[in-house]
Amino acid sequence: MAYYLRLPLQMKQLYLVFNIVKLTPAPDDPIAGWKTEDHPLPIIIDRKAKWEVEEILNSHWHWRRFQYLIK
């Protein structure tokens, strides 16, 4: 089974016929047992969002910038 889609002209490079398997809704929990943590709300200082860092766990270079893993 397949679906024929009517897409806008900006998407004309896409193939218009899709298998039904590719158009099914994604599951609510795509990775079983994976829990997402709620991030703390930022503290607003001078109209800028700031977060309190408890600990720096790791750091590395990525595209000429340092990235930090923080807690």
CA 55: distance to chain centroid? Answer: 24
Q: What is the pLDDT of residue 11?
A: 85
Contact between 2 and 23 (Cβ < 8 Å) = no
Q: What is the pLDDT of residue 48?
A: 92
Q: What is the pLDDT of residue 6?
A: 86
pLDDT tens across 15-58, in order?
A: 888 888 877 787 777 677 777 777 788 889 999 999 888 899 99
In the structure encoding, which two tokens stand for residue 22, read together? 């590719």
pLDDT band at 70 (very low <50, low <70, confident <90, very high): confident
Q: DSSP for 40-63? A: PPPEEETTEEE-----EEEEEEET
